[in-house]
Amino acid sequence: MGIRISTWNVNSIRIRLDGLQRLVETARPDVVCLQETKVADHLFPAAAIRELGFEHQLLHGAKGYNGVAILSRRPFIETGTRAWCGREDCRHALASIDAGEGIGPIEIHSLYVPAGGDIPDPETNDKFAHKLQFLEEMRDWSMSLSPDTPAVLVGDLNVAPLESDVWSHRQLRNVISHTEPEIERLNRAMEDGLWIDAVRHLIPPPERLYTWWSYRARDWSASDRGRRLDHIWVRPELEPRFDDVQVLREARGWPKPSDHVPVTLSLKD
């Protein structure tokens, strides 16, 4: 049976409900992890999402900003949330789910890393300093996870680490999301935490691959100035289960689009 896990920064779930329905029809996920839901939990459109088949919902939201959620067709075994950098700003939800007879229970983390503002200097930009601290804590947290626990980390990590993850390495190397301090910390979190970049494992460089295109672009598809900010990482125990990965580029052209597109990983029994 296996399991299909989608991640999507929806940039406001109430605006993106039609898009979520299209994602469900197109990618057929068993689990959907959302970031930037931008709604307090009591106003989350839970009933409408249950009608899409996601009876089990873990919500961790706030009014107007941030917010993460995990939606599942399968029952949760255990759920929780985590605070980062001493702030209760709704950036991490986690749930254990039975992924099927051949895989068993897996731990799924929906994570939203701070964007970091505009100036890549932690001395003058508190938002960038916060982002770097968050990435450092990601490493420490990842190393604290039990090595025997099959885990999947998905979300908007707000870093495009590879040259083929951006439209121009030369022009973006000093632009936040592709600077050396961010890439170094993200890579350290992945490597020291024993994570595998599942998307690039299945779609290896040098193929260019993007999941985000700015709203500022007059024609996002023609200019194609994208970045790969949305990631799926897995622990080594799940590598033999890799089946397929899908970046739903077409979603950027849907009515009322998010600036991010969904990414879906399939794990086989």
Would you say 94 and 107 are in contact if contact means Cβ atoms under 8 Å apart?
yes
Q: 104-117 pLDDT, tens per residue?
A: 999 999 999 999 99
Q: 249-265 pLDDT, tens per residue?
A: 999 999 999 999 999 99
CA distances for 257 relative to 122, 138, 152, angstroms: 32, 29, 26
pTM of the model as a whole: 0.97
Selection from 156, 228, 219 nearest residue 8 by Cα: 156
- Domains of the chain in start order, with CATH, are 3-267 (3.60.10.10)
pLDDT band (50, 70, 90) for residue 46: very high
Q: Which two tokens stand for residue 1?
A: 């049976």
Distance, CA of 226 to CA of 210 (rounded, Å) = 5
Would you say 27 and 6 are in contact if contact means Cβ atoms under 8 Å apart?
yes
Q: Residue 1 has what pLDDT?
A: 77
* Alpha helices (H) in 86-232, listed in sequence order: 126-144, 169-172, 180-192, 198-202, 220-223
Selection from 20, 33, 248, 240 nearest residue 155 by Cα: 33
pLDDT band (50, 70, 90) for residue 191: very high
Q: What percent of the chain has pLDDT over 90?
A: 96
